[in-house]
Each structure stands twice: as structure tokens, then as C-alpha cells.
Amino acid sequence: MAETSSTEEDHNHIPIEIISDDEMALIEAAFAFASTRTFSSLRSSSSSKLPLCTNALSITPLSKRKLSSDIEDLPTCKKKHTLSDSFLHRFRNKRGLSVTDLTSTEWCPKQMEFSLLLGGRKVNEAMRAGIARHAKLEQEVIQRVEVKVKSQEDYWALKFLNFIAGANQLLFEGLTRELPVIGFAEDIWMVGVIDEIRMPLTENDHNPILIDTKTRSRDTLPAEPQRRNGRLQLMCYKYLWDNLVADDFPSEKFFTYFGLNPQNNLCEDLKVIGADSGFSASTLDDAVRYYRNTCRMLAPAHDQLLLRYEYQKDHSLLGEVKFAYDRDWLKNQLRSCLEFWLGEQEATYTPEEERWKCQYCQFARVCPAYTNSKGTESPKRNYSNIKG
């Protein structure tokens, strides 16, 4: 898979590290947030801070809002080796599999299994710094306003309205951030949040560019396993995006799988927001219809995807890695991850050449891969509150 890198300075002078404690903390903490990342606000953009696309038009702030609500915590239960009791059914039923679930599984299926069965780790200072940085980037284009929802139908309608708002911002201003996506791919419902999407500045290119920003605690580029994980994440987003713009959203399957009433009346807040944004959405079915109509207005994502790496200390750019979308590679990765989630394959350990990950894993003491290779040696950090 071809990659090209560029920075403000020559990349040849930037060392490549294996990994740091803080960087691993960011990766592991993301596991715990895989299913609980939420949108708790309404948004309006600040057009003065955004690069305009070549055919930009004006749009009222109310049509570029973003909203959200919290969802419940994951249950904790023990694994059974039947499809009906698969991890997908038990831990993501009526919620969808997140893109972070997939990337966490690719990182280490056994760690993902332990995380589900024994509980994820708490957020530390490094993770808080990463969250704060992404919040800051979001605030550059989004104004948050709390919105209360009263039902699961409201919750999903809110996600659709957030997508519509973000898509409008992208089309009219050339950039949006923290865009929620809900789609059906590989016979699985998937959800995710795209860090950033930009419209190209050339008149003949109308394919949005998907971007993900990673923060680093050291001024170095990450090792290949982390870059591979980032590539998987962005390719998953493109796969979902392209399915959506091809109008591949099975509405009836959506209502059935998530146990939703399409004719359920939305809460008044969502009705008002829809009206202010230029469309009348009274029910969840209305919101889904507008969602699909918005997707039809969009072009497939650009085949060139972009990973950005920032130094956490001063937010300076460490490097940008551009790479091409590889559908065959993505399909293989998805199949491998889904075998774990569907109960078709036992969780495997991280490859021998990547066992350095174990030194930073909170579940090392209960993982045979680590204890067999290290004997009684202790991991670099002490975790004494693993839940059984």
C-alpha cells in the first residue's frame, strides 16, 4: 500500500519510535470509549474560520447545527460460544458496531475480549489531553448547545440531524468536523465519527477528503502498527460514506434491527431544530428520509485519505501521511474482525513481532500470551482493579 509523507520540515530528521506510555494510554483508553462517544450539542459554524470551496454559497447558521445525547454503559457478561450470544449480540445489540470497535479488535483481539468481559480502563491525563485537543478542533467550527431527548427514536433522529447539519456545512463552507455516520456494511450496522472532512479546492474535484488527527505525547511519528490501525479507521469511514452516498441505507432493516417505531413523534426540541434548519421532521421516519436525501447530494469520498500527527505539547504538526484506499485490504481486515464479533473465531493474540504491546496492556497479568513469554515479569504499569 503506497504512502507519502510530508511536513513543514524534512521527515528524514524525525525519528520513528516504537511507542510511549502516554501514546499507549491514548490507544487503550479509546477502547473504553468505543461505544460511549456521544454528541451532546447543537452546532453552528463560524464561516470566517473555514476555507470556502470553489462554488460556495451562503447558508444560515441554524442549518449547520449539531446535537446529541448520552447512551447507557455497556453490560458485563461472560462469553458463550454460540452465534446468538456473540459479542456483537451481547455488547452491541441495538447500538451498532463502532469503527473504534473494529480498530481496537485489529490492535489486539484478545485485549478487546478482555476489555468487554473484564471492563475497560479509566481515562488518564494523556487521554484527557487528547480529548481536549479534539474538543478544541471541534470548537473552531462548532458551537455546542445542550438538547434533551426523550426516547431512542429521538436519540437516533438526533444523529441523523447532526449528519445533515454537518453535510450542509461541508457543502457550503468546505469543511466540517466530528461528523456522525450510521450505515449498513458487511451485513452489520456500523456507526462512527469522522474527525474532519474537507472539500477539495479545485473546481474539477468534488470528492470530499477524509482526515483523522492523532495527538502524540512525543515529537515522533508512530510505529507501523499504529499507522496501520489509523489506515483501517479511515478506510472504514470511507467505506461507510461511499455506501451512504450510493443510497445504500436499508430503512426498514434499520427500524427492525434497532427496535424503533418510525412513526414515533420526535420531541419538541428536535422538531424546532428541524424547522429552523429548513425542513419539517416530525417523526423518525422523516429524519431518516432527510438523511437519505442529504446523502444523495454527496459524492463518494476521495480515494486519497489523510492521517495527521500532532505533538500534544504545542499542537505542532509532526507529519501528514497520505495513503490510497485499498478496498480488498479493508475487506480482509473487516472479515477478520467480524469473525471475532460474530463468534465465528476465538480471540487471537497479537502477533509475536508486536508483543511489545503487551507491556502496556492492563490485562497482561491475566493474558497467557504475556505470562507465557515473560514468566512472572510484571508489566510496566500496575493495574489492580481489573473487574472479574
Is 188 domain-assigned?
yes
Residue keyed to cell 438523511: 291
Element (H, E) at 216: strand 209-216
Is 66 a domain residue?
A: yes
CB-CB contact of 24 with 31 (8 Å): no
Q: What is the pLDDT of residue 55?
A: 29
Q: Within 10 A of 1 (CB to CB), how many other CB atoms are there?
A: 10
Q: Do the domain assignments include residue 137?
A: yes
d(CA 149, CA 151): 6
pTM score of the predicted model: 0.78
Other residues' Cβ atoms within 10 Å of the Cβ of residue 195: 21
Of 186, 163, 164, 208, give the one whose Cα is nearest residue 53. 208
- Residue 241: which of 180, 186, 200 has the closest Cα? 180
pLDDT band at 206 (very low <50, low <70, confident <90, very high): very high
Q: Does some domain include residue 382?
A: no
Q: What is the mean pLDDT of residues 247-257?
A: 95
- Domain presence at residue 306: yes
7: left (phi over 0), alpha (psi -120 to 50) or beta: beta
Of 14-18, 46-50, 188-192, 326-330, minimum mean pLDDT range: 46-50
Of 50-54, 199-203, 206-210, 302-306, which gets the smallest average pLDDT? 50-54
Residue 16: per-residue pLDDT:
40
How many domains is the chain built from? 1
Domain boundaries, position 91: 3-353
- Statement: residue 255 has pLDDT above 70: yes
**Residue at 282 is within a domain:** yes
- Grid coordinates representing 151? 426516547
pLDDT cut 90: percent of the chain above it: 55
Mean pLDDT to the nearest integer, 67-96:
61
For residue 219, being part of any structural domain is answered with: yes
At residue 280 the predicted structure's pLDDT band, cuts being 50, 70 and 90, is confident
Query: Does 375 map to a domain?
Result: no
Helix extents (H) in 204-276: 224-245, 251-257, 268-276
The confidence score (pLDDT) of residue 237 equals: 98
Rg of the chain (C-alpha set) = 21
Contact 220, 14 (CB under 8 A): yes
Taking the CB of residue 77, how many other CB atoms lie within 10 A of it?
A: 12
